[in-house]
Amino acid sequence: MRPFEYVSPNTRSQAISLLGASRGNAEILAGGTDLLTLMKDDVVAPKRLINIKGINDLHGVSSNAQGFHIGALTTLGDLADDATVRQNYPALAEALAEAASPQIRNLATLGGNLCQRPRCWYFRNGFGLLPKNETGKELVAEGENRYHAILGNEGPAKFVSPSTLVPILVAYGAKIRLEGPKGKRELPLEKFFVIPKNEGEREHDLRPNEIVTEVVIPPASDVRAAHYEIRQKEIFDWPLAVAGVALKMRGSNVQSARIVMGYVAPVPWPSPEAEQALVGQPINKDTAQRAAEAALTNAKPLSHNAYKVQLARVALRRAILKAASGGVS
């Protein structure tokens, strides 16, 4: 392993000042379930590793009128067991229970889950996030793209956003809070993810000297939500499609809807088309199907992943129906 410096700050400001202003020199270590693998595989080689687990106020959860606050260092395991999550955000609880394996959930943090790097096998084999060969040919477009993006893939980024939790968090209207040398900022969670256009750019709107501090989910007592994943193996497998749906009903019709797809694009993919298709409608097989079709109208599959259009559609339709029936599929 390449030598690196290891530091363990106890406060946010220490962590921020240790990060430095340029990308790639320092990496933040939280659960380490992704970063350490990337380092062992020599995909990333930070000169400084900043262990933030000693920063006490990044741990734990709390509730107030704004909603439910989740510290960035809260583990997925603790979050899955949290009574508030189970009671008020059952679709998130389900997504948490399906994430990775129990061993990983016990270490992995929510902040790390949002900042994990794509699972693209070209990236993981060291060919870069926007992999090209010597002649400039895009390796993904020309190669084995069965698990790659079907939306938002017009540029060189063809990977899919890897978090299985983000679609339902975005559907619930979650916000992410960041802190840097110039203070704090808050973004709707979906805005945290960006599509890189040049090699070396990151897929997150996280400046080199910023850290993720917390995620806030607004109250959802009037929301019917559902998370749905399609994967080949029963457990511990990367999904082929993910859907997160949150509906507000007026009577038996949809008043408003948040519909988000995962594993279809380099970023989580909210679908205003599907949302519009549902508003004012009752939920049934036909309306769910129409919304799902609307969401995938603009899909542009690559050479080997046309099947993912169907899978994304099915995941959405099932998630919509599941949300309407109170989260039961």
| Nearer to another protein (CB atom), residue 294 or residue 311 | 311
Task: Give the CA dihedral 161, 166, 167, 170, nearest 10 degrees.
Answer: -130
CB 103, min distance to another protein, A = 13
Q: Does 305 bind another protein (CB under 8 A)?
A: yes
β-pair type (5-7, 48-51): parallel
Tokens of 286: 């036909």
Q: Does 64 bind another protein (CB under 8 A)?
A: no
Q: Does 4 bind another protein (CB under 8 A)?
A: no
Q: Does 107 bind another protein (CB under 8 A)?
A: no
Q: Does 44 bind another protein (CB under 8 A)?
A: no
* Residues facing residue 5 across a β-bridge: 48
Please report, as residue ranges, which positions from 123 to 152 form the binding site for another protein (by CB under 8 A): 124-125, 127, 133, 137, 139, 142-144, 146-147
CB 200, min distance to another protein, A = 20
CB 146, min distance to another protein, A = 6
Q: Which one of 24, 185, 235, 284 is in contact with another protein (CB under 8 A)?
A: 235
Count interface residues toward another protein (CB under 8 A): 32
| Nearer to another protein (CB atom), residue 36 or residue 314 | 314
Q: Does 328 bind another protein (CB under 8 A)?
A: no
Please report, as residue ranges, which positions from 171 to 230 form the binding site for another protein (by CB under 8 A): 230
Q: Where do we find the tokens 């129409």?
A: 290
| Nearer to another protein (CB atom), residue 143 or residue 173 | 143
Q: Which one of 238, 248, 249, 281 is in contact with another protein (CB under 8 A)?
A: 238
Tally Cβ neighbours within 10 Å of residue 37. Answer: 14
Q: Which one of 13, 304, 328, 329 is in contact with another protein (CB under 8 A)?
A: 304
Chain centroid to Cα 82, Å, comes to: 20
* 160 Ramachandran zone, left/alpha/beta (phi>0; psi -120 to 50): beta
CB 1, min distance to another protein, A = 5
Q: Does 122 bind another protein (CB under 8 A)?
A: yes
β-pair type (183-188, 61-64): unpaired
Q: Does 307 bind another protein (CB under 8 A)?
A: yes
CB 261 within 8 A of CB 167: yes
| Nearer to another protein (CB atom), residue 13 or residue 133 | 133
Q: Which one of 311, 316, 321, 324 is in contact with another protein (CB under 8 A)?
A: 311
Of 20-28, 159-167, 204-212, 234-242, the segment contacting another protein by CB under 8 A is: 234-242
CB 217, min distance to another protein, A = 29
Which residues, in sequence order, are CB contacts of 139 under 8 Å at separation 6+?
A: 122, 127, 131, 132, 133
Alpha-carbon distance 165 to 96, whole Å?
Answer: 7
Sheet holding 61-64, edge to edge: 61-64, 67-71, 211-217, 175-180, 183-188
Of 109-117, 119-127, 168-176, 260-268, the segment contacting another protein by CB under 8 A is: 119-127
| Nearer to another protein (CB atom), residue 18 or residue 141 | 141
State the residues that interact with another protein by CB under 8 A: 1-2, 119, 121-122, 124-125, 127, 133, 137, 139, 142-144, 146-147, 230-238, 240, 304-305, 307, 310-311, 314
